[in-house]
């Protein structure tokens, strides 16, 4: 489903991924789908610098394991405190994320490029207060309070 610019809530995406080839693939996939990838980084510190720029990011797509000491879980908590939606893209969905309401969901690796785009479309619907519709393979949604 395509959204007009007036109704689209997710336009600018930050990718946080420590595996360079996966990061490149995700960036290419999202740009081809019409999203603006504001940055692709591999560390908590770099990601937080970008999300602190007001209006710079609509959605953070992050792995749980990042380069450096801090994790994608910590990044998700920080982003959610700022009102920015988060989608994990990781090999194993973290149980604590489900319990702590820090992300919309988790897309399990490996995934097809089209499934990343479909997962973001589901996030778009959730943010807009609509039913998620059919989920792509590997996407787990977290219950929202």
Domain membership of residue 1 (yes or no) is no
- Strand 85-90 to strand 105-108: parallel, antiparallel, or no bridges (unpaired)? parallel
Q: Return the ∠ at Cα 64 (arms to 58 and 107), rounded to 5°.
A: 65
**Is residue 5 very low, low, confident or very high in pLDDT (cuts 50, 70, 90)?**
very low
| Number of residues that this document lists for the chain | 145
Assign residue 130 the CATH number of its domain. Answer: 3.40.50.2300
Domain membership of residue 53 (yes or no) is yes
Confidence check: pLDDT of 35 > 70: yes
Domain membership of residue 4 (yes or no) is no
Peptide bond before residue 110 is cis, with ω within 30 degrees of 0 = yes
Domain membership of residue 48 (yes or no) is yes
Q: What is the pTM of this model?
A: 0.91
**Is residue 8 very low, low, confident or very high in pLDDT (cuts 50, 70, 90)?**
confident
Domain membership of residue 2 (yes or no) is no
Q: How far apart are CA 29 and CA 130, in angstroms?
A: 24
Domain membership of residue 79 (yes or no) is yes
Q: What is the pLDDT of residues 92-137, one digit of tens each?
A: 888 887 777 899 999 999 999 999 999 999 999 999 999 999 999 9
What pLDDT was estimated at residue 143? 64
Domain membership of residue 85 (yes or no) is yes
Mean pLDDT of 46-51: 94
What pLDDT was estimated at residue 94? 81
What pLDDT was estimated at residue 145? 37
What pLDDT was estimated at residue 12? 97
Domain membership of residue 68 (yes or no) is yes
What range does the domain containing 55 cover?
Answer: 12-141
Domain count, the chain: 1
What pLDDT was estimated at residue 95? 81
Place of tokens 């910590």: 74
Q: How far apart are CA 62 and CA 51, in angstroms?
A: 13
Mean pLDDT of 74-85: 93
Q: How far apart are CA 134 and CA 6, in angstroms?
A: 23
């Amino acid at each position: 489903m395509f959204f007009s610019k007036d109704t689209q809530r997710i336009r600018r995406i930050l990718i946080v991924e420590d595996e360079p080839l996966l990061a490149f693939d995700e960036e290419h996939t999202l740009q081809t789908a019409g999203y603006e990838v504001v940055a692709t980084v591999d560390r908590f510190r770099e990601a937080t610098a970008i999300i602190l720029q007001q209006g710079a990011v609509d959605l953070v797509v992050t792995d749980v394991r990042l380069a450096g000491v801090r994790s994608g879980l910590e990044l998700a908590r920080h982003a959610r405190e700022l009102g920015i939606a988060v989608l994990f893209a990781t090999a194993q969905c973290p149980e604590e994320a489900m319990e702590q309401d820090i992300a919309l969901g988790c897309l399990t690796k490996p995934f097809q490029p089209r499934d990343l785009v479909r997962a973001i479309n589901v996030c778009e619907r959730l943010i807009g207060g609509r039913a998620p519709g059919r989920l792509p393979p590997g996407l787990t949604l977290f219950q929202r309070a």
